[in-house]
Amino acid sequence: MVSGKFLTLALVGLAVAALVVFVLFEHVPQSETETGRRADAKVPGEGIASVEDGQDAPAATGRSVGVTMAGRGKQELLSGMEGLKDGKARETYLAGMVSRIAALRPEEALEQVRLLQDAEARDMLMLALLAQWSGATTLDLVRNRDVTRFGVAGALALYLMDSGKFSPAQAAALAKEGGAGRQAELLARVASKLVTTDPAAAVAMGSGFEGRQQNRFYESLARAWGASAPDAARQWASQIPDPELRARVQTSILQAEAAGNPAAAARSFTQFPPGAPESRTRLAGSIAESWANKDTVAAMQWASSLADPSDQAAALQGIQRAAPVGIGARVVSGNDGFPVLTDFVPGSPASMSGQLRPGDKLLAVSDGQGGWVDPRGLPLGQVVDLIRGAPNTQVSLRVQDSGGSGQRVITLGRQQIIHRTP
């Protein structure tokens, strides 16, 4: 018996093939389908099969065909359809075309795609090639953020580059063909592959952008470069003539560095230009938040060492976002409207008391004035704020275990949560 999973995958594959066939068939240029059979059409087994007048097209087999089609004439792509009058025979032929074109080298397959005059038909054929080459299902492609953000050509360019089938230069050329609205971000993704080996070529990919598009390209490239080689990225950023853009790029570099190595980013922060106070305070908060997630004590020591009161305040706020004063329990939504306590921080009041268990349902939180607050219907952020508070104060919780047994009231002291990643 065929399994449900196998049947689902089969239906998905058929849906992709049917969609491609429909679009290609609907957009076949008349001049390429109503002329006589080309005398130089390839015979079966030597690339795309030829079809004599009056014969049916060969059914799609799905087998890869090792062929080379470089240098073929413009009508080669659809030459086998020229003698076909029956619509179903044409659809069958086109369904086989997808797998045959996918068997080509990517450069040659894309040359065949470019022969189609209709932009929608080209997009659908590239989408089919992306599915064939990557093994993605229709649902995968629908959920693919690269497709929605950068268009089919952009997503295909990124796939070919990331899989090693295209160089960054080839990917950039294909990405530009698509004309996606997020060209700056797309080319920055491509340039990030070059930035450590050929930074000049990576920066040059954004040379055609101006204004907001240029800013987006530079900031996106700075984030990728800052994560891999922040010192080299800073050297590049220091040469940007526009002071506002330079500050934004330097901010992106430090934020990317802070995500991977907050201690190094904190050292680099001292060299950040003093003429950009808003960027400095935002950076102080980002660095402190990233550091507090890994080493809260070190982040607090760094924050206290900052001379500028605005920088110090921003750093302390960042620490509180990552390591607040509370009981050290994560709160998530429950199925019946009551929040659920889970994921206790090691060494926190929730973990050390022994009175709470992951999965406990939160029925009520003390309001600090002798009353209780029902958390049902409240946003989770508001529930969390009720539990948090000043150091060395107390909060009471009315909870029930996940099995639904009797309620119990637990009082815990709030403490500064300390993260320490080995």
Expressed as residue numbers, the domain containing 300 is 261-323
Residue with the bigger pLDDT between 317 and 30: it is 317
DSSP alpha helices (H): ranges in 326-414?
349-352, 380-387
What local confidence, expressed as pLDDT, does residue 180 receive? 60
Do both 319 and 330 map to the same domain?
A: no
* Centroid of chain to Cα 1: 38
| Residues written for the chain | 422
Residue with the bigger pLDDT between 269 and 86: it is 269
**Do the domain assignments include residue 354?**
yes
One-letter amino acid at 329 equals A
pLDDT tens, 157-195? Answer: 999 999 999 999 999 999 888 766 688 999 999 999 998
Band of the pLDDT at 266, cuts 50, 70, 90?
Answer: very high
Do both 136 and 250 map to the same domain?
A: no
Do both 248 and 339 map to the same domain?
A: no
Q: Among 255, 290, 307, where does a domain finish?
A: 255
Do both 132 and 85 map to the same domain?
A: yes
Please give the share of the chain, as a percent, with pLDDT higher than 70: 77
Residue 67 has pLDDT above 50, yes or no: no
**Do the domain assignments include residue 410?**
yes
What local confidence, expressed as pLDDT, does residue 283 receive? 92
What local confidence, expressed as pLDDT, does residue 63 receive? 33
Output the six-digit token pair for 421: 């990643």
Do both 98 and 113 map to the same domain?
A: yes
Report angle CA 33, 34, 35 to the nearest 5 degrees. 100
Angle between helices 211-228 and 230-237 (to 10 degrees): 150
Do both 46 and 132 map to the same domain?
A: yes
| 408 DSSP β-pair partners | 399
Do both 12 and 117 map to the same domain?
A: yes
Mean pLDDT of the 305-328 span: 94
Q: Among 255, 289, 308, where does a domain finish?
A: 255
Do both 45 and 136 map to the same domain?
A: yes
Contact 334, 361 (CB under 8 A): yes
Among 19-23, 67-71, 141-145, the range scoring the smallest mean pLDDT is 67-71
**Do the domain assignments include residue 227?**
yes
What local confidence, expressed as pLDDT, does residue 259 receive? 92
**Do the domain assignments include residue 421?**
no
Do both 22 and 44 map to the same domain?
A: yes
**Do the domain assignments include residue 377?**
yes
Q: How many domains does the chain have?
A: 4
Distance separating alpha carbons of residues 117 and 113, to the nearest angstrom? 9
CA distances from 227 to 65, 244, 245, 280 (A): 42, 22, 19, 19
Average pLDDT score, the chain = 79
Band of the pLDDT at 13, cuts 50, 70, 90?
Answer: very low
What local confidence, expressed as pLDDT, does residue 165 receive? 95
Element at 408 (helix H, strand E):
strand 407-413
What local confidence, expressed as pLDDT, does residue 156 receive? 95
Distance separating alpha carbons of residues 48 and 156, to the nearest angstrom? 23
What local confidence, expressed as pLDDT, does residue 310 receive? 93
Distance separating alpha carbons of residues 36 and 176, to the nearest angstrom? 36
CA distances from 84 to 33, 365, 422 (A): 9, 75, 69
The pTM for the full model equals: 0.64
**Do the domain assignments include residue 43?**
yes
| CATH number, domain containing residue 390 | 2.30.42.10
pLDDT tens, 240-265? Answer: 999 889 988 999 999 999 999 999 99
Do both 311 and 189 map to the same domain?
A: no
Q: 3-class SS at 332?
A: strand
DSSP 8-state secondary structure symbol assigned to residue 78? G
**Do the domain assignments include residue 15?**
yes
| 396 DSSP β-pair partners | 411
Mean pLDDT of the 67-76 span: 42
Residue 50 has pLDDT above 60, yes or no: no
What local confidence, expressed as pLDDT, does residue 12 receive? 38
**Do the domain assignments include residue 72?**
yes
Q: Among 223, 255, 287, where does a domain finish?
A: 255
